[in-house]
Copies of this chain bind each other. A is one copy, B any other.
Amino acid sequence: MRAKSLTEQARRAQIVAAAIEVLAELGYGATSFKQIAARAGLSSTGLISYHFKGKQELVDSVYAEVRRTFTEFVLERMDHSATAAGELRAFLSANLRFLRAHRAHMVALAQVRPHVSAADSADDDHRKMADLLRQGQRRGEFREFDADTVAIFVLALRNGVLARAGDHPEVDLDLCERELITVVELATRRG
């Protein structure tokens, strides 16, 4: 595993970026190396194979890149000082804002997720969310519930809203954000 040169890194990033755009526009099934190469302004699909061992590595790279961008975006907007409830709220907020800022990433993520080989890193999300919920329970902010199960719910809400909003541009994201926060609060708070 040699270190990647700068050019190498730049090319990979360029290809991944193009792949994200194509995935968002055409969907996974229609996303071929040809399309990606065209979008990236490359003159040969061979270059993609040169930089990525195979389609799978490209898919995984796309996934990793979207995740990285997403995580960074969310982390910047999380409220770390405060309560678990506050963090949860911030998390949901950040997600909806990410959709507004990077819709293509969001759609590409949905397209790519079923084909990612990596030990499902959606599990990471799940674990972190469950931990946050448990923390809130220990602090007495949240009622008693099975944290793993409710973690599924919270992430399901997140994913579902993103999916719906991705397909239906008419969805009012501000309204959605407020209602989502309300719903999650009602569902989790103590008393």
Residues of B within 8 A of A115 (CB): 27, 29
Quickly give the copy total for this chain: 4
Contact A146 B160, CB 8 Å, known A29-B29, A114-B27? no
For window 171-191 of A, CB contacts with B under 8 Å fall at 171-172, 175-176, 179-180, 182-184, 186-187
In contact, A182 and B114 (Cβ under 8 angstroms): no
Inter-chain contact A175/B146, CB cutoff 8 Å: yes
Give, as a whole number of angstroms, the nearest-CB distance from A115 to chain B: 7
A152 at the interface (CB under 8 A from B): yes
Given the known inter-chain contacts A156-B157, A156-B159, A160-B157, please indicate yes or no for A175 contacting B187, CB distance below 8 A: no
Number of interface residues of A (CB under 8 A): 33
In the complex the two chains form, is A167's CB within 8 Å of B27's CB?
no
- Interface secondary structure of A, over-half rule: helix
A171–B167 alpha-carbon span in the complex (Å): 29
Chain B residue with the shortest CB-CB distance to A160: B156
Measured between alpha carbons, how far is A179 from B157 in the docked complex, in Å?
15
CB distance from A188 to the nearest CB of B (A): 8
Closest to A126 in B: B164
- Residues of B contacting A157 in the complex (Cβ-Cβ under 8 angstroms): 153, 156-157, 160
Q: Is A28 located at the chain interface by the 8 A CB criterion?
A: yes
Name A148's closest neighbour in chain B (CB-CB).
B171
